[in-house]
Structures are given as structure tokens and as C-alpha cells.
Amino acid sequence: MRATVIGGTGHIGRFLVGQLIEDGWTVTVVSSGRAPLPRERGWERAHHAVGRYDGGPEWRRLMAELKPDLVVDIIQRDLAATYDAVAGVARHYIVCGSVWMLGAATMVPTPERIFGEAFGASYQRRREIILETFARAKGAGLPLTAVFPPNICGPGKIPLDTVGGRSAEVHRGLAAGRPVPLPEGMLTLISPCDASDVAQVFRLAARRPEAAAGEIFNAGPAYAVTMPRLVEIFGEIHGVRIPIEWISAERFYGEVASTAGQAFHFRHHMCPDTRKAAERLGYRPQFTCEETLRRAVDWMKAQRLI
């Protein structure tokens, strides 16, 4: 069984490649060639191909030459072109989306349901392409599955910080116990999910294509935490007390989380409902929010980021 993983050198792929090899897949990772290959378990048995992910003739030729039974598309830069290139060869196509594509949730935990416009034009367009490809996959088309993770965390990824970004400088402040400003009454939910657990959903979908075909599956931890609890967790990890400075919402969104991307994390809950992945695929997250944040901090320390 041949699997092609597009963008496999990133934070999800570094775990997924080893998981697929463990399941008996012959894995070829397609990347730009700019990033070094990870050293996680199984990578020594993976094949590597360099390709320019632009949907052009060379890209289509590469996909056809690899003849994959399974395609895992983590980047989703040109889903339509890649889907076309492997439609006559592959048996299953799994693409990575994002919980942000669902729009501003009106219920928690949040199921795989469209609640409105996706956050930002890029997520909106990517969502449209995924849904268009699902429509094409119905009937005789190549079966498609999508995985929607929340805030990816764990080794290899700087975790979400208390400003709504992924800044090593902000994390150095947390390690030093500097006060954290939050808007008054802030109890928004956030769900840092270990990249290994995100990879697990892809792995399980690959194992059970008949259950995964035509479906969107959320990935995520077993529970979410509030923003104040996130601050507390970082304090526990660093062994310091991090005081919260409660400020007005006007000041917070004007001075602290001033960009739309930062503010989204505080204005909208991110607590994905993973029951469908559990019931249909057997998904069970391995790491709690606290554990995945600790794993991420340990990785940052190893990389001398903090």
C-alpha cells in the first residue's frame, strides 16, 4: 500500500509519517525540500520527493508517477489540481482543513457544522474548495475525507500564547511570571491539541476508508480550557505564579490583541466536538491540554526559544 503525504515535514506530518509506516504503508513525503526531514520514529524508512505544489504539469506528473493508494494533503494549496491528478489512481484522499473554517461557533462542544463565514478570506476560500471537492467525490469520484484540527500544539509547534499569537517573546514573559492582561470577564474556551493526536485522526481515517469517506472529522483534546486556565497552566509548567491583569475589552482589543487573528481566539470559543471521530474511527486523544502544552514548552526549551 502506497501513501503520499503532501507537506509531511511539518508539525502534523512529523508524527503521521511514522504512524502510517507502523500500519504497513510505504510512505513518500512530498515537500518543497526547504525544511530538514524530521527525526521522529519511522522517518528513516520514508521516501522523499521534492515537488513544487502549484498544480502545474510537473506537479500533476509527479503525483501520477507516485501512484498512491492514499493521498494525505496537509497543505491544501491546490486541492482541485491534486485531486484531479490522482483521481484515476488513488483510492482515498484525506485533506487537512481547520476548525476556523466552520465560522464563529454558536454551541460548544462544536460539531462539524458550518456556522457562518469562515475566519478570513483564505479559510473561506479553502472551505469552499473542500466542499466543492466533496460534491465532486460523490458517486464514482475518489473518496474524500477532511480533518479539521483546532489550535495545534505539542513538539514542533510554538503553542498559542496569551496574546492570541505564537510568539516566543510572549512565552519568555510567561516563563518569567510577567502579568498577563485579559479582558474583564474573559472565559473563552481554547483547546490546544497535540500534533500527534491530530495525526491520529488522519491515521484512523486511512485505516477505515469506508467509515471516513465523505466526512469531515474534528480533531481535538478531550476537553477545552478557559483563557484564565491557560495562563494558570503555563504558570504550573514554569513553576511561577503568573498574575492576570483584568482590563477593559476596549483597551484589550485596541492595545493587546489588536489584529483580527489575535482577537478571534478571545472572541470565539474553540472547543471541537470529536464524538464523530470517536464513534466512527475509534479516536481517543492521548494527551490532555496540560500535557500537550508541557510537551510544547519542553520542545521550545530544547530549541532554546525560551
106 occurs within a structural domain: yes
Sort 177 into a burial class: Cβ within 10 Å, 0-12 / 13-18 / 19+: middle
Report the distance separating Cα 193 and Cα 180, nearest Å.
22
First to last CA, the chain: 42
Angle between helices 79-86 and 57-66 (to 10 degrees): 40
Looking at the structure, tell me whether residues 176 and 79 fall in a common domain: no
Say if 276 falls within a structural domain: no
Q: 239 with 134, same domain?
A: no
Burial class (CB in 10 A: 0-12, 13-18, 19+), 241: exposed
* 96 and 30 both lie in a single domain: yes
Distance CA 63, CA 12 (A): 21
Give the residue numbers spanning the domain of 113: 2-151+193-218
Q: How far is CA 57 from the centre of its chain?
A: 29
One domain for residues 42 and 99? yes
In a domain, 280, yes or no: no
| pLDDT of amino acid 145 | 98
**What is the domain-level CATH number for residue 293?**
3.90.25
Q: Which residues of the chain have pLDDT under 70?
A: none
CATH of the domain at 34: 3.40.50.720
Is position 83 within any domain?
Answer: yes
Would 277 be classed as within a structural domain? no
Q: Is residue 255 part of a domain?
A: yes
Is the domain of 147 the same as that of 42? yes
- 173: number of Cβ within 10 Å: 19
Q: 201 and 180 share a domain?
A: no
Where does a domain end: 218, 234, 262? 218
Instruction: Give residue 226's pLDDT.
Output: 97
What is the pLDDT at residue 63?
87
Separation CA 216–CA 167 (nearest Å): 30
211 and 158 in one domain?
no
CA–CA separation, 147 and 93 (whole Å): 11
pLDDT tens-place string over residues 6-28: 988 889 999 999 999 999 999 99
Same domain, 265 and 203: no
**Number of structural domains found in the chain:** 2
Residues 135, 164 share a domain: no
Q: Are residues 12 and 102 in the same domain?
A: yes
What is the pLDDT at residue 128?
97
Q: Are 176 and 146 found together in one domain?
A: no
- Tell whether 118 and 17 lie within a shared domain: yes
Residue 278 lies in a domain: no
